[in-house]
């Protein structure tokens, strides 16, 4: 696929996000042979366009890292994308549903590193030794594709459905936390919708950061210090509607919540 075609598909998907319009996935038409490598090239072009518009990268995010999420989306490999400054919301805030097409939420454990992390060969132990602190988060995902229907290259091209991020106010160092054993409860309007643990994220959330560092190393890039890193959903993603009160409680990390208005 040539650069003109990459840009055209990036324009198409970026436009769908800005117009809040769901579209047919490229692998169905017009790019049935879309590859994972091409998906990342389209993602990179979308990121360039967002930066050119004045937006700033908030931090990297891993996707499809839980068994539940991979089963839900019928894929087997984790992926990465990026959140941006315009996507972030505060704990307890009101988030406008008109920003989205068909939003879903999932509980996550976020990391912030002390120093840049450069792969290859990064291990979980190295990630934990280089972690400044962890925090609870709710990621709001919003695929631009009809009915959240996509292949792995499609969702990578769409910047892994990145749309929103609500960060909790509790921050802790990881030394005294068994992150893989921490339980998460996702409730909507007081009703439990999903349960999970840190172990659902590649066996341990720090494994997701290590995988990210090793994947980025293939492009000569690092995982940057000081940026919030989303490690992936601890449960399946759950659809939300206008008026919903969304809450996530993670053992040892407290609660993060918002209202969808």
Residue owning tokens 């008109």:
98
Q: Find the helix or strand (DSSP H, E) in which 156 lies.
A: helix 152-157
pLDDT of residue 29: 85
- Per-residue pLDDT tens for 188-244? 999 999 999 999 999 999 999 999 999 999 999 999 999 999 999 999 999 999 999
Cα 136 to Cα 139: distance, rounded to the nearest angstrom: 10
3-class DSSP assignment, residue 145: strand
* CB neighbourhood size of 68 (10 A): 17
pTM attached to this predicted model: 0.94
Please state which architecture CATH assigns to domain 3-260.
Answer: Alpha-Beta Complex (3.90)
Cα 140 to Cα 106: distance, rounded to the nearest angstrom: 7
Residue owning tokens 């990026």:
82
Pick 40 or 72 by higher pLDDT: 40
- Per-residue pLDDT tens for 74-92? 666 789 999 999 999 999 9
3-class DSSP assignment, residue 157: helix
Cα 227 to Cα 216: distance, rounded to the nearest angstrom: 15
pLDDT of residue 1: 80
Q: What is the DSSP string of 31-51?
A: -TT--HHHHHHHHHHHHHHHH
């Amino acid at each position: 696929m040539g650069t003109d075609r990459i840009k055209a598909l990036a324009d198409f998907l970026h436009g769908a996000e800005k117009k809040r319009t769901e579209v047919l996935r490229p692998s169905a038409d017009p790019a049935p042979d879309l590859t994972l490598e091409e998906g990342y090239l389209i993602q990179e072009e979308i990121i360039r366009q967002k930066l050119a518009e004045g937006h700033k990268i908030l931090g990297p995010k891993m996707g499809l890292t839980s068994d539940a999420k991979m089963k839900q989306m019928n894929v087997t490999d984790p992926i990465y994308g990026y959140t941006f400054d315009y996507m972030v919301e505060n704990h307890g805030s009101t988030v406008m549903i008109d920003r989205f097409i068909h939003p879903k939420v999932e509980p996550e454990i976020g990391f912030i590193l002390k120093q840049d992390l450069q792969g290859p060969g990064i291990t979980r132990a190295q990630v934990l030794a280089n972690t400044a602190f962890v925090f609870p988060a709710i990621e709001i995902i919003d695929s631009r594709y009809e009915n959240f229907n996509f292949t792995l290259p499609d969702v990578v091209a769409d910047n892994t459905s990145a749309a929103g991020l609500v960060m909790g106010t509790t921050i802790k160092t990881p030394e005294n936390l068994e992150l893989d054993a921490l339980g998460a409860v996702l409730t909507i309007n007081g009703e439990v919708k999903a349960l999970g643990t840190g172990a659902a994220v590649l066996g341990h959330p720090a494994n997701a950061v290590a995988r990210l560092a090793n994947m980025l190393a293939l492009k000569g890039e690092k995982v940057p210090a000081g940026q919030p890193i989303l490690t992936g959903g601890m449960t399946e993603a759950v659809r939300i509607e206008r008026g919903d009160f969304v809450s996530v409680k993670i053992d040892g990390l407290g609660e993060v919540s918002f209202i969808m208005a």
